[in-house]
Amino acid sequence: MAHDHSHKGHSHAHHHIDPEAGDARVAWAIAVNMFLTLAQVIGGIFSGSLALIADALHNFSDAIALVIAFFARKIARRPADPRMSFGYGRAEVVAALVNYTTLVVLSVYLFYEGVMRFFEPEPVNGWMVVWIAALALIVDLVTAALTYSMAKDSMNIRAAFLHNVADALGSVAVIIAGTAVILFNWTWVDPAVTILISIYILWHVKSEIGETIRVLMMAAPPELDPEEVASTIEDIPGVSEVHHVHLWSMQEREPALTAHLVVDAAAWADAEGVRASVRQSLRDRFAIGHATLELEQIDRACVGSSRFGHTEEKL
pLDDT tens, position by position, 266-277: 999 999 999 999
Q: What is the residue range of 248's domain?
A: 226-300
SS3 241: strand
In a domain, 56, yes or no: yes
| Angle ∠(204,208,209) on CA atoms, nearest 5 | 115
- How many helical (H) and strand (E) elements, i.e. helices and strands, does the chain have? 8, 3
Specify the number of domains making up the chain: 2
Tell me what pLDDT residue 7 has: 40
Neighbours of 78 (CB within 10 A): 12
Same domain, 199 and 266: no
Asked if residues 176 and 121 have their Cβ atoms less than 8 Å apart, the reply is no
Domain boundary among 164, 185, 216: 216
pTM of the model: 0.83
Domain CATH number, residue 292: 3.30.70.1350
In a domain, 151, yes or no: yes
Residues of the chain under the 50 pLDDT cut:
1-15, 314-315
- Residue 310 inside a domain? The answer is no
Do the beta carbons of residue 242 and residue 261 sit within 8 Å?
yes
User: H helices of 48-90, where?
Assistant: 50-76
User: Under 8 Å CB-to-CB from 160, ≥6 apart: which residues?
Assistant: 26, 62, 65, 66, 68, 69, 99, 147, 151
77 found inside a domain: yes
C-alpha distance from residue 97 to each of 72, 183, 210, 214, 234 (Å): 11, 42, 9, 11, 36
Residues 26 and 117 in one domain: yes
pLDDT at 313: 53
CA dist., res. 240 & res. 298, Å (int): 8
233 and 98 share one domain: no
The residue out of 216, 238, 259 marking a domain boundary is 216
Confirm whether 3 is domain-assigned.
Answer: no
List of residues 6+ apart from 200 with CB closer than 8 A: 169
Q: What is the pLDDT of residue 119?
A: 82
214-219: long-range contacts at Cβ-Cβ below 8 A with a sequence spacing of 24 or more? Answer: 215/90, 215/93, 215/155, 215/249, 215/251, 215/252, 216/90, 216/93, 216/94, 216/97, 218/246, 218/248, 218/249, 219/248, 219/249
- Rounded to whole angstroms, how far apart are CA atoms 124 and 111? 18
Angle at alpha carbon of residue 152, lines to 146 and 155, rounded to 5°: 100
Q: Are residues 89 and 209 in the same domain?
A: yes
202 and 244 share one domain: no
Residue 231 within any structural domain of the chain? yes
Do the bridges between strand 255-263 and strand 239-249 make them parallel or antiparallel, or are there none, so unpaired?
antiparallel
- 86 closest CA partner among 249, 305, 298, 259: 249
Residues 198 and 241 in one domain: no
> Within a domain: residue 9?
no
Residue 136 sits in the same domain as residue 235: no
Q: Say whether both 170 and 260 belong to one domain.
A: no
Task: Flag whether 308 is in a domain.
Answer: no
Q: How many CB atoms lie within 10 A of CB 34?
A: 17
Res 4: pLDDT: 43
Q: CA–CA separation, 13 vs 45, rounded Å?
A: 46
Q: What is the CATH number of the domain that holds 160?
A: 1.20.1510.10
Same domain, 206 and 58: yes
203 in the same domain as 108: yes
- Helices 155-184 and 126-151: angle between axes, nearest 10 degrees: 160
Q: Which of 216, 247, 271 is the last residue of a domain?
A: 216
Alpha-carbon dihedral 208, 199, 34, 95, rounded to 10 degrees:
-20
Q: Are 206 and 249 in a shared domain?
A: no
